[in-house]
Chain A
Amino acid sequence: MIAAHHLPVLQVVLPLVAAPLAVLCPGTRAPWVAAVLVSLAAFAIAVTLAFKVATTGAIAYELGGWPVPYGIGLHIDNFSSLMLLLITGASLAALLHGKPVIDKEVQSRPVSLFYGAWLLAVAGLAGMVVTGDAFNVFVFMEISSLATYVLIAAGPTRTAFSAVFKYIIMGSIGAMFYLIGVGLVYMMTGTLNMADMAARLHGVDDVVPVLAAAGFITVGLLLKAAIFPLHAWMPNAYAAAPSTVAVFLAACSTKVALYVLIRFDLGIFQPSLEGHDIQFSAFLMPFALVAMITGSLIAIFEKDLKRLLAFSSVAQLGYIVLGASLLTAAGMSAGILHLFNHALMKAALFLAVGSLVYRYGSAKLADLAGAGRAMPWTMAAFTVAALSLVGVPLTAGFISKWYLVLAAMEEGTFGWFLIAVILASSLLAVIYVWRVIEVAYFRPAPEGAPAVKEAPWYLLAPTWALAGLNIYFGLAANAPNGLAARAAADLLGGGA
C-alpha cells in the first residue's frame, strides 16, 4: 500500500487539512463528529507507526522526496512513537468525553471554530514530535501554541482572557529563545537537520556559542513546558480553560515541549558538547527537586480543584526532569515512563473534574462537598487516578516512581537524598489528594444545595477507560516500560 509509506507525514497533514473542514461543518454535532473521526484516524496512524517502529526500527521520511539534509526529514523512533500515542490518544479521549462539556462551557459561536483550533493544536503537537528539523519544530510549536491560546480563551469566564495573555507573552518569549538558540547552532554548524547537527557539532572549534545556544534552547523550552520556576502561566491557564481543553493540555501539550527539550539536550548536545552535562544536569536537577516539593506544597493550599491539579503537574514534571537530569539510562527511562504515566493519570483526573464541573458548574473544593455520594462513579475514577498520582502500588504511578527510585540508587550516597525528596513529594501528594477525598466523601453537601445526579454514561465511559489504564499499566508495565527503555537507549546511544 502506498499510503503506508506516507503515514509519518499523514500524522500531521490529516488534522491540519481537517481543521478548516471541521470549521465549515454546521451546528454543534457535525464538527464534533469530524474532530472525533480525525482523532480516531490519527490514533490509528500512531498505533500503526508504533508497531512499525517496534518491529523494524526508526522510520525516516523525506518530505517531498528531497534528500536529507537539504530537504526536511521526518524521523520517528521509539520516543516519538510513544509521544504520538499520547497526543492522539489524549485528543480522542478528551473529545469523546467532551461533547456535552464543550457545549456547556464554550461560549464562542459557531462552536465549529473551537474544533478547528483543536485539530490545529493536534497537528502542531504531532508535527513537533515527528520532524527531524530544528526550525520545523519552531513552526509547529507556534502552530500548536497559537491554537492552544485560542482553545484556552474559549473558557467560560473572563479570567480566561487574562490567563491567555500571560501565556501568550511567556509562550512567545519561550519560542523566541528557542529560535535564537537554533540560530546560534545554525551559525556554528550550517545545518538545521537534528541528526546532521549532532554529527557536525563534533567538529566545531569554538563551543562557547553552542553552549549559549544550548542555554537559550533549554530555557525557551522550559518556559513552554512549564517547568518550575517558569510555570507561572500554567495554573491560571488550566483553571480558566474549558475542562476538555484542560484534559488535553495536561496530558500532552507541556510534555511535547519537554520531549523536544530532551531530544535536543540529550540527543544533540550531550554527546557532542564538552561541558554540556554540567550546564544541563547541574542546572536542571535543583529546579526539579524544588519543583517536586513546592509544587506539591502549593497544591495543598489550593482551593480550586483545577489549580490544585495544575500545581501537582508542576511537581510531577519535576520527576520527569529529575529522571532526565540523572543522565543515566535508568534515569532517562524512568523519566520517559513517568512522562507517559503522568499523562494517563492527569488525563483521567481532569476527565473526572470535567464531569464534576459539568454537574456542579464549579471546580471550587467548597462547592464539591458531598460529591462522593452524589457522583460515586466519577469520584471513584478520580480516586483511582489520584492513587496513581500518589504512587500507590498496583497503579501506573507506582511503577514509574519505583524505577525513578532505582535510578536514584545508582547515584550512591547522593541518591539517598534524591530518594528522600521523591518520598517527601509523594507524601505531600497524599495530603493534597486526601483534601479532595475528604471534601468529596466526608463532608455533607451544603444545606439547600440542588440535588446533583451522577454523570451520564458517555462521560463516565472515557473517564473509567483512562482510570482503568492507570491500573492496567500498574499491573502490566512491560509494554510502556520496554518502550521507555528503548527510547532512553536511543537517546543516550548518541545521534538524534
Chain B
Amino acid sequence: MAWLGILNYWIFVLLLMTGMYAIVAKGNLIKKLIGLGICQSAVFLLFISMGKVVGGTAPILDGSDRAYSSPLPQVLILTAIVVGISTMALALAVVVRIRESFGSIEEADVYGKEAEA
C-alpha cells in the first residue's frame, strides 16, 4: 500500500486535473475561474504536504531533541494565497466589466460578439 503514503500527492494531481478540466471545458467565465481556484488550492496542498514531517512539531528550539516540520513551505503558501486572492479579485472584476459591455459571461457569446465588432 505504498501509494497510500503519498495520498496527498494523488489528491494534488486529482485537484489539479479537476481544475484544468473546468478551465478548458466550461464555457462560463465564472466556472473557469472556479477551476483556476481549484488548481491553486492543489498547489497549496502540494507545498503544505512537502513540509510536513510525521510526528513533527513547530520549529521552536527548546533544547529537547525532536522532529520539526519545515515552516518555510507554509510561509511560501501564505504568500501564494495572497497572490491567488488578488488574481481572483482582479479576474472577477474583469468578468463584471465583460458582463457590462458584452451582456454575457458565456465564452461563446463573448468571443462571438468580439468577432462582429
Contact = CB atoms under 8 A, between A and B. Distances in A.
Given A135-B76, A142-B87, A173-B23, A149 B94 contact: yes
Contact of B87 (A158, A159, A172): A172
A161 B80 CA distance: 25
Contact of A173 (B39, B102, B111, B114): B39
Interface core residue of A138, A150, A157, A186 (most chain B CB under 10 Å):
A186
A162 interface: yes
Contacts of A192: 72
Interface residues of B, number: 31
A164 interface: yes
Interface string A158-181: 110110110011001101100110
Contact of A139 (B23, B40, B79, B95): B79
A183 interface: yes
A176 B15 CA distance: 13
A281 B92 CA distance: 38
Given A142-B87, A161-B101, A176 B110 contact: no
Interface in B83-111: 83, 86-87, 90-91, 94-95, 97-98, 101-102, 110-111
Interface string A224-265: 000000000000000000000000000000000000000000
B91 to A, nearest CB: 5
A176 B46 CA distance: 12
B31 to A, nearest CB: 12
Contact of A168 (B40, B83, B90, B111): B90
B2 interface: no
A289 interface: no
Given A169-B36, A186-B73, A180 B46 contact: yes
Contacts of A149: 90, 94
A235 to B, nearest CB: 13
A interface majority secondary structure: helix
A135 B87 CA distance: 17
Contact of B29 (A165, A173, A187): A165
A162 B116 CA distance: 14
Nearest to B86: A146
B50 interface: yes
Given A149-B90, A165-B94, A169-B23, A158 B50 contact: no
B68 interface: no
A320 to B, nearest CB: 27
Contact of B83 (A139, A159, A183, A187): A139
A173 B40 CA distance: 9
Contacts of A157: 117
B102 A176 contact: no
B117 A176 contact: no
Give the residue among B94, B98, B102 with the most A Cβ atoms within 10 A.
B94
A163 B85 CA distance: 21
Interface of A: 135, 138-139, 142, 146, 149-150, 153, 157-159, 161-162, 164-165, 168-169, 172-173, 175-176, 179-180, 183, 186-187, 192
